[in-house]
A and B are shown apart, each in its own frame.
Chain A
């Protein structure tokens, strides 16, 4: 293990240690996410059964489509859940750095900062991205089984393509998700306590300031038209800039982290 920046054997051992010590907590969190989404969904549908059992008609590309409302609701819950729980999970990247003892254990562990960062990223970001669709499918199977037994409707037996649904609007869903996830991850490294709340407030302030600036700029360019492609390009460009910068800042902050804060 001569390489002091990255060594695959060391990474594998570090990941094994992380899963051993926190694997159960990760699964519990995932079950909690599944439980919350399922309970909200079932409550919504059973409290307004009449509405949710009627088809939802919508237009797309000039054609009329029909879908049932509960499936649309479920897809919306999955999308919302991806944002909410994805950012919460990302902010957990620094959860075990809140005390001096935890920071000492992390700093002194014989692995490189890059390996430590990578393992934290795998556990709090990648694990969620991979596991969340599985949770969504599990919820869908449970709800399909429930509705089939209650309503006996054939409509419910047709599973939705949740990933296809989320990817349908591509940049508008994926780019903001990646940006928010990277920013909440950065917040998790910057603030070890109440990271989610602090990041949320900080981002809310930044968005508010940006909104004011954009509004003023638009007033000065009255009559200008900003189409779908223009906005999409801006969104993709912002993602390309913000995500790597957030990752780099998080890594360097972790590398410079001391056992006690001093300035």
Chain B
């Protein structure tokens, strides 16, 4: 679906490179979580994948076509929901009528269904909506376009609590085998139940890239007040219940993946984390 080949990018010729020779791929039928600290280039990577930024080296192929060529047929199969966006102050129905023709797989039935799930009306004027409501409306339109690639930058920012759960339902019920969804976020708790795969970016590029199934089968996540167990763990961090720890897993003992703990582990000891997967990969898996 998306293949990133030897990608390099920097915002200035003399400045540090945001990416230097990045190779990465995103498969169909999966929801990816793109995580990383502020400023590591998560949004930049989304823009590069969408073809909205020009790489200084390498390329991004979406369904085999370089997205930077900015071909209409490529863009009619990609939709990006940025963290901040603009919508004109016109009735939403008119907006949909004017925009939907550009997306061949747009489904009006889906659109109405998504709107109702967010308790929005199709005849509402976009100028009268709050930022959170606009985001819901924009995401309803984005989902109804049924593009193969959907890129979302901080999609839950600005959503109220019911909005966040509606968002999760919207994504999970509309996921198909032909679709790839990449969600860049800091609000991992809002999306952790949705994700199939986690990609963590650090200052030097990619530091962790595994399926959550693989993570759950190799690592176990606990909250414990047992100090001895915490001291022997691969990683631990203080929490209200004592310590959140990660220990090596074994078959049949899978636990839910604590995304925040995994993220901190990846940032603090990326080699140790990745070694857990190399050691067990000899026999089978991945």
The interface stretch among A9-17, A145-153, A203-211 is A9-17
Q: Are A104 and B82 in contact (CB under 8 A)?
A: yes
**Given A113-B70, A262-B53, A101–B84 Cβ distance below 8 Å?**
yes
Chain A binding surface SS class: helix
A107 to chain B, nearest CB (A): 5
Chain B residue numbers with a CB within 8 Å of A229 are none
Q: Which of B71-130 contact A (CB under 8 A)?
A: 71-73, 75-76, 78, 80, 82, 84-86, 88, 90, 94, 98-99, 101-103
Q: Of residues B50, B72, B84, B103, which shows the largest number of chain A Cβ atoms within 10 Å of its Cβ? A: B72
Most buried by B among A2, A16, A17, A113: A17
Q: Give the chain A neighbours of B11 by CB distance below 8 A.
A: 260, 262
- B52 sits at the interface (CB 8 A): yes
Pair count A-B, CB < 8 A: 82
A168 to B92 alpha-carbon distance, docked (Å): 49
- Whole-angstrom distance between the alpha carbons of A112 and B12 in the complex? 27
Whether A21 lies near B98 (C-beta < 8 A) is yes
CB within 8 Å of B: which A242-260 residues? 255-256, 258-260
CA–CA, A262 and B84, complex, Å: 20
Is there contact, CB below 8 Å, between B102 and A111?
Answer: yes
Residues on the A chain within 8 Å of B72, using CB: 1, 4, 7, 10, 110-112, 115
A215 within 8 A of B: no
B222 interfacial contact with A, CB 8 Å: no
Q: Is the Cβ of A110 less than 8 Å from the Cβ of B53?
A: no
Q: A4-B73, A262-B53 are in contact. Are A105 and B86 (CB under 8 A)?
A: yes
Count B-side interface residues using an 8 Å CB cutoff.
Answer: 31
Please tell me if A60 contacts chain B, counting CB pairs below 8 Å.
no
Choice from A1, A102, A108, A111 contacting B78 with Cβ under 8 Å: A108
Q: Is A54 an interface residue (CB 8 A)?
A: no
CB distance from B266 to the nearest CB of A (A): 27
Q: Is A216 an interface residue (CB 8 A)?
A: no
Chain A 1-37 interface mask (CB, 8 Å, partner B; 1/0) = 1101001001001001100111000000000000000
Q: Please indicate the chain A residues that have their CB under 8 angstroms from the CB of B26 in the complex.
A: none
CA distance A100 to B44 in the complex (A): 12
Least distance between A2 CB and chain B CB atoms (Å) = 8
Task: Decide: A10 and B80 in contact? CB cutoff 8 A.
Answer: no
In the bound complex, CA of A4 to CA of B53 (Å): 19
A260, B53: Cβ atoms closer than 8 Å? yes
Contact across chains for A108 and B80 when beta carbons are under 8 A apart: yes
Q: From residue A3, how far is it (CB to closest CB) to chain B in Å?
A: 9
Q: Say yes or no for A234: interface residue by CB 8 A criterion.
A: no
Give the chain B neighbours of A107 by CB distance below 8 A.
51-52, 70
Q: How far is the CB of B8 from chain A (nearest CB, A)?
A: 12
Q: Are A108 and B98 in contact (CB under 8 A)?
A: no
Q: B276 at interface (Cβ–Cβ under 8 A)? A: no
Within 8 Å of chain A (Cβ to Cβ): is B10?
yes
Per the bound structure, the CA–CA distance linking A4 and B102 in Å amounts to: 13
Tell whether A109 is near chain B: CB-to-CB under 8 Å. yes
**In the complex the two chains form, is A99's CB within 8 Å of B86's CB?**
yes
Tell which of A7, A10, A21 touches B88, judged by Cβ atoms closer than 8 Å: A21
A2, A10, A20 — most chain B CB neighbours (10 Å): A20
CA distance in complex: A39, B67 (Å): 52
Select A108's contact among B50, B88, B90, B101, beta carbons within 8 Å. Answer: B50
Q: For the complex, is B227 an interface residue (Cβ under 8 Å from A)?
A: no
CB atoms of A17 and B99 under 8 A apart = yes
| A20 touches which of B13, B50, B90 (Cβ 8 Å) | B90
Tell me if A225 is interfacial: C-beta within 8 Å of chain B.
no
Say whether, besides A4-B71, A110-B72, A263-B13, A104 and B98 are in contact (CB < 8 Å): no
* Least distance between A10 CB and chain B CB atoms (Å): 7
Asked if B90 and A21 sit within 8 Å, CB to CB, the answer is yes
Contact of B101 among A4, A13, A103, A104 (CB under 8 A): A13
Tell whether B54 is near chain A: CB-to-CB under 8 Å: yes
Interface residues of A in 102-148 (CB under 8 A from B): 102-105, 107-113, 115
Asked if B208 is at the interface (CB within 8 A of a chain A CB), the reply is no
Q: Please indicate the chain B residues that have their CB under 8 angstroms from the CB of A113 in the complex.
A: 70
User: Which 8 A-B residue pairings sit nearest by Cβ, starting from the closest?
Assistant: A110-B75, A110-B76, A17-B98, A21-B88, A259-B52, A110-B102, A262-B11, A4-B71
Given contacts A4-B72, A110-B76, list 9 more A-B pairs with CB under 8 A: A13-B102, A20-B90, A101-B82, A110-B102, A111-B75, A258-B52, A258-B53, A260-B47, A262-B12
CB<8 Å pairs between A and B, sample of 24? A4-B73, A7-B72, A10-B72, A21-B90, A21-B98, A99-B86, A101-B82, A102-B86, A104-B85, A105-B86, A108-B78, A108-B80, A110-B73, A112-B70, A112-B71, A112-B72, A113-B70, A255-B70, A256-B54, A258-B52, A262-B53, A262-B54, A263-B12, A263-B13
Residues of B within 8 A of A (CB): 9-13, 47, 50-54, 70-73, 75-76, 78, 80, 82, 84-86, 88, 90, 94, 98-99, 101-103
